[in-house]
Amino acid sequence: MNSKRVLVLGIGNLLWADEGFGVRCVEALNAGWQFPPQVRLMDGGTQGLYLLPYVQEADALLVFDAVDYGDTPGDLREVLGEQVPRFMGAKKMSLHQTGFQEVLMAAELTGKLPAELVLIGVQPEELEDYGGSLRDVVKAQLAPALQLALNWLDRWGAPGVPRDGRLAGAEAITDAALAIDVYEGERPSAEQAYRLGDTRFLNLEPT
Amino acid sequence: MGVYETQGFKLDNTGKRVVVDPVCRIEGHMRVEVNLDSNNVIRNAVSTGTMWRGLEVILKGRDPRDAWAFVERICGVCTGTHALTSVRAVEDALSIKIPDNANIIRNLMQLNLYIHDHLVHFYHLHALDWVDVVSALKADPKATSTLAQSISSWPLSSPGYFRDIQNRLKKFVESGQLGPFMNGYWGNPAYKLPPEANLMAVAHYLEALDFQKEIVKVHTIFGGKNPHPNWLVGGVPCAINLEGTGAVGAINMERLNLVKSIIDRCTEFVEQVYIPDLLAIGSFYKGWLYGGGISSKNLLSYGDIPNIANDYSTNSLLLPRGAIIDGKLDEIHPVDLRDPEQVQEFVAHSWYKYPDESKGLHPFDGVTEPNFVLGPNTKGSKTNIQELDEGAKYSWIKAPRWRGHAMEVGPLARMVMGYLQPKQFPEIHGLVDGALKKLDVPVTALFSTLGRTAARGLETAYCVKLQREQFDKLMTNLKNGDLNTANIEKWEPATWPKEARGVGFTEAPRGALGHWVTIKDTKIDNYQCVVPTTWNGGPRDHKGQIGAFEASLMDTPVAKADEPLEILRTLHSFDPCLACSTHVMSPDGQEMTSVKVR
C-alpha cells in the first residue's frame, strides 16, 4: 500500500484575471476527477501561513500558480524540488507568492518540508483586470496543466478516476458564486465597472 | 509643499528624501516616502496605497447573498472578517435576524481570528523589528534559561532546549539560507535586546509557528472548510447534532470538545508565552516611545462581538465602540455609521474624482471614479515614480474622516476605549493597568509604537477570555435543546423590498471595518468598503491633515538612513495589510524591498 500524503494546492487571487490560474486548476481537477483519500485538493487563495499546517502534513506537494518567468504568455513550466521556493519569488508579481515562499521556508525551519515539491506554473498574459477571468492563452493551458498533475498523482500512487456526472454542491472547491462560469457570466459591464489597474504595475518599461 | 503645520506637527519636505517601497500587490500595497533633516529625524512622511482597489464595482449586479464569497478574496489576512462584515451588511439591509447560536458561533470565529492574527503578527511579522536574530547566536543558553524561567512558568525553558534552538538557528544561518529571517537589518543600533532575550524570542517564534496551526482548526470546524470558510446570510452554515458521529456533516460533541481544547491551549500560550515576551521586550524598549502619531488625540472603534444576538448597539458590544477626539480622554463620542455627517471619505489627495473635492462623501453616496494624475513636483513618470508630489494627488487610498478628523483605528483604539471605561470593561482596564504598572510607565506611554504593539497582546488575552465565555454560552444553549443556527425566512429574494440599504461593521484585527450595501431589484446596486488600512494609511485631505501612518513617523530619529528599521517597526505596529510585503525576494534570494536615499 502506498499511503504517501499528497497536497494539490491552487494559489493566487482569482479576482485578478490570470492570477486565478492556480485556483481554477484545482477547481477543474476536482470537478473532473476523484482521488484516493490520501490526496487533498485545496484552493489556497492568497493565504500565507494559514496554509502551513497542510503543507507540513504532506509528503508530496503539487502547486498550481501563475508565475512570471519572463516567458511568452501562456507558456507552461514544471519546476521541481529545491527550485520551487526560488521560483515562487520570481519577479515581484504578487504578494501571495511571497507569502507562500515563507510557508515553504517555515515548513523547512520546522523540519516538515514535503519530500517532493512540484510547481506547475503558467506565464500570465494579463493581471491588471480586476474582476476579470483567465485570458484565452492561459485558459487553454488548464487541460495540459491538469494532465501534468494527473501524471504526478499516478506516479505518487494516487491516480485520479474520472467523475461521471456533475459535481454535487458540497464537493465543490470554490463557492458556487465564484465558479468560473458564474464568475464570468455575471461580471458587470466595463461601463459599470472600471477595469484598469495601476499603470505602474502594468509591466511597462519605464519611460 | 514646503513647510506647514497641521494637528500639532510641523511638516517640512526640504530635507533628504528616503523612499521605502515594498513593491508588490494583491492585498493593497503601500509605499512610504519620508524627508530627514540633517540629524536624520523624520520631518515629513508620505504614505501611499499603490494599488487600485476596485472591489466595489465588481460586485455590481451580483446576488447580495454571494457578496461574502467575493469580499473574502480581497485580502489574504482579513478573509473571515470581510465575509462577516458583508453578511451583517446584507442582514441589516433586509432586516434579517439571526439565531443566538449563529451570533455566538460568529463571535467564536471572529475571536479565533483575532487570536491567530495577533499571535502571528507579533511573532512572525513584527517581532523581527524588535528582535535581532543574528545576535541570538551569541547568547548563553544557560543565561537564556534563567531569563525565561524568571518571567514565566512555561515548561520549554531548559538550557538544553535553548542550546538546541541556537544550533538549529546556526545551521540555518551557516547554510546562507536565512529564510524568513532574510531581510533583517541585523546589527542595527536600533535593536536593544541582549542576546539572551533575542534567543528566547527566536525560540518562541518557532513555537508560535507550530502552535498557530492548531488555532485555526476552529474555523474549519464551524466554517466547514479552511482556508476559505463558508458563511451564510441569516446565520451560520453549520448544523448541530450533539449525538452525531463521524467526520462529515453536523457539529457533534467530539468537535465541540476539540474547540474546547483549542481554547484551553490558546489560554496557556497567551498567558505563559505571548504576554511575558511582550512585557520582557517592552522593558528593554520603554525608553523608545516614538511612533504615537495621532493616537494621543483621535481614536475610533466601531466595536464588535455582540453579546446579544442582533443587538449591535454600544451596550451589547464586548469590544468597545466610540470615538475620542482632540485628546479629550474623558469624553467618548457615540458612533453612528448611518449618519451622513460622521464617516466621510475625501479625495483631494487621492487618485479619484469628486464633483467637489473640498467635501467628503458618506459611503452610501460613495463614488469610485479613478483619476490618475501626478503633481508637477513628481519625479519620474507614471510608470516609474521616483518621488511623489504630496502637494497633489498621491494615493489610491481615499482619506476617511470622522466628523472631519483623521482617526487611528486598531487594537490601541479599542484598548484605550476599554481602559477609559473601567465599569463597562473591567477586564480590559485591568489588563492595561497591569501592563503599565509592570513596565512602570505612565498612561501616555500607550500612545507609541510600543503601546500599539502592547495593546495588541493585551487584547489577545482579553479575546481568549471572551472566547471561553462565548463557548460556555453556546454549550448552555445546546444542552437546553436550542440547536438553531440559521434563519432562512427571508432567503428567497421574492421576500425582499424593491430597494434596501444596510451597513455591516466589525472590528478587523487591524481596526474598524465597514461595508455599506445598496440592494435594488434583488441585486447589488452599490457596495462600499472602508477598511482599517484606509483609516490608518490614507493620504492627506483637502485641509492638509495627515493620517495615522504619516503622523506616526513624524519626528522619529532614524539610526541609519539606508536601513529604515524604525520606519518599518512603526508601520508594522499597525499590522497593516502590507506587513508581509517587506519580505519580497527575487529568484536569487535578494531582497526586493528597495530603499532609496536621495
Hey, is the C-beta of A36 within 8 angstroms of any chain B C-beta?
no
* Cross-chain Cβ contact B384/A207 below 8 Å: yes
* Cross-chain Cβ contact A96/B26 below 8 Å: yes
What's the first-to-final CA gap in chain B, in angstroms?
17
Residue in A91, A109, A174 nearest the CB of B206:
A109
What are the beta bridge partners of residue B511?
B508
From B549, B450, B502, select the one nearest B28 (Cα to Cα): B549
Chain A environment of B383 (Cβ under 8 Å): 199-200, 202, 204-207
CA atoms within 13 Å, Cβ hemisphere of B457: 29
State whether ipTM is beyond 0.90: no
Chain A environment of B50 (Cβ under 8 Å): 198, 200-201
CA–CA separation, A67 and A88 (whole Å):
7
Cis ω for the linkage preceding B227 (within 30 of 0) = yes
CA–CA separation, B549 and B32 (whole Å):
9
| Nearest CA distance, B173 vs chain A (angstrom) | 11
Angle at B492 between CA A132 and CA A185, to 5 degrees: 20
Helix axes B253-269, B195-215, angle to 10 degrees: 170
Count of positions (residues) in chain A: 207
B169: left (phi over 0), alpha (psi -120 to 50) or beta: alpha
* Cross-chain Cβ contact B76/A207 below 8 Å: no
Hey, is the C-beta of A95 within 8 angstroms of any chain B C-beta?
yes
Hey, is the C-beta of B374 within 8 angstroms of any chain A C-beta?
no
Query: What single string gives the DSSP state of each residue in B278-304?
Result: HHHHHHHHTT-----TTTTT-EEE--E
Per-residue pLDDT of chain B (598 residues; tens, 9 = 90+): 689 999 999 999 999 998 877 533 333 467 889 999 999 999 999 998 766 556 677 788 899 999 998 888 776 666 789 999 999 999 999 999 999 999 999 999 999 999 999 998 899 888 889 999 899 999 999 999 999 999 999 999 999 999 999 998 888 777 766 566 666 788 899 999 999 999 999 999 999 988 988 898 898 888 877 777 889 999 998 888 888 765 556 788 989 999 999 999 999 999 999 999 999 999 999 999 999 999 999 999 999 999 999 999 999 999 999 999 999 999 999 999 999 999 999 999 998 889 999 999 999 988 777 788 899 999 887 777 788 999 999 988 899 999 999 999 999 999 999 999 999 999 999 999 999 999 999 999 999 999 999 999 999 999 999 999 999 999 999 999 999 999 999 999 999 999 999 999 999 999 999 999 999 999 999 888 888 988 999 999 999 999 999 999 999 999 988 888 898 899 889 988 643 322 222 223 333 344 455 4
pLDDT at residue B581 in the model: 29
Hey, is the C-beta of A202 within 8 angstroms of any chain B C-beta?
yes
* Cross-chain Cβ contact B384/A206 below 8 Å: yes
CA–CA separation, B225 and A41 (whole Å):
12
Q: Note the pTM of the prediction, 2 decimals.
A: 0.90
Query: What's the alpha-carbon Rg for chain A, to the nearest Å?
Result: 17
| Nearest CA distance, A63 vs chain B (angstrom) | 16
From B97, B54, B56, B49, select the one nearest B516 (Cα to Cα): B56
CA–CA separation, B356 and B269 (whole Å):
52
* A6-201: CATH superfamily: HybD-like (3.40.50.1450)
Q: Which of helix, strand or coil describes residue B18?
A: strand
* Cross-chain Cβ contact B587/A90 below 8 Å: yes
What are the beta bridge partners of residue B486?
B235
Hey, is the C-beta of A31 within 8 angstroms of any chain B C-beta?
no
Chain A environment of B575 (Cβ under 8 Å): none
* Cross-chain Cβ contact A91/B587 below 8 Å: yes
Residue in A15, A53, A91 nearest the CB of B73:
A15
Assigned C-alpha cell, B474: 453556546
pLDDT at residue B28 in the model: 44
CA–CA separation, B193 and A7 (whole Å):
40
Q: Residues 37..66 of A with a Cβ closer than 8 Å to B: which?
A: 42-53, 56
Nearest residue of A to residue B584, measured between CA atoms: A98
From B408, B427, B444, select the one nearest B549 (Cα to Cα): B408
Hey, is the C-beta of A91 within 8 angstroms of any chain B C-beta?
yes
CB A192 within 8 A of CB B57: yes
Chain A environment of B58 (Cβ under 8 Å): 15, 130-131, 187-188, 193
* Cross-chain Cβ contact A46/B76 below 8 Å: yes
| Nearest CA distance, A101 vs chain B (angstrom) | 9
* Cross-chain Cβ contact B60/A192 below 8 Å: yes
Hey, is the C-beta of B79 within 8 angstroms of any chain A C-beta?
yes
Query: What single string gives the DSSP state of each residue in A75-111?
Result: -EEEEETTHHHHHHTSTT--HHHHHHHHHHHHHHHTT
Alpha carbon B576 to chain centroid, angstroms: 6
Hey, is the C-beta of A169 within 8 angstroms of any chain B C-beta?
no
Nearest residue of A to residue B230, measured between CA atoms: A175
Residue in A86, A109, A204 nearest the CB of B383:
A204
CA–CA separation, B113 and A24 (whole Å):
27
The residue to which cell 435576524 is assigned: B97
CB B59 within 8 A of CB B515: no
pLDDT at residue B180 in the model: 61
Residue in B385, B580, B592 nearest the CB of A48:
B580
Hey, is the C-beta of A199 within 8 angstroms of any chain B C-beta?
yes
Chain A environment of B120 (Cβ under 8 Å): 49
B194-212 burial, b at 16+ Cβ within 10 Å, e below that, comes to bbbbbbbbbbbbbbbbebb
B105-137 burial, b at 16+ Cβ within 10 Å, e below that, comes to bbbbbbbbbbbbbbbbbbbbbbbbbbbbbbbbb
CA–CA separation, B321 and A198 (whole Å):
35
Residue in A49, A92, A130 nearest the CB of B58:
A130
CA–CA separation, A128 and A195 (whole Å):
8
% of chain A surpassing 90 pLDDT: 43
Hey, is the C-beta of B482 within 8 angstroms of any chain A C-beta?
no
Alpha carbon B5 to chain centroid, angstroms: 29
DSSP structural state of residue B352 = B
- Between the alpha carbon of residue A141 and those of residues A90, B152, B268, B424, B569, the distances in Å are 20, 55, 49, 59, 43
Hey, is the C-beta of A22 within 8 angstroms of any chain B C-beta?
no
Query: Given a cut of 50, is residue A180 above it in pLDDT?
Result: yes
Chain A environment of B73 (Cβ under 8 Å): 13-15, 45-46, 178
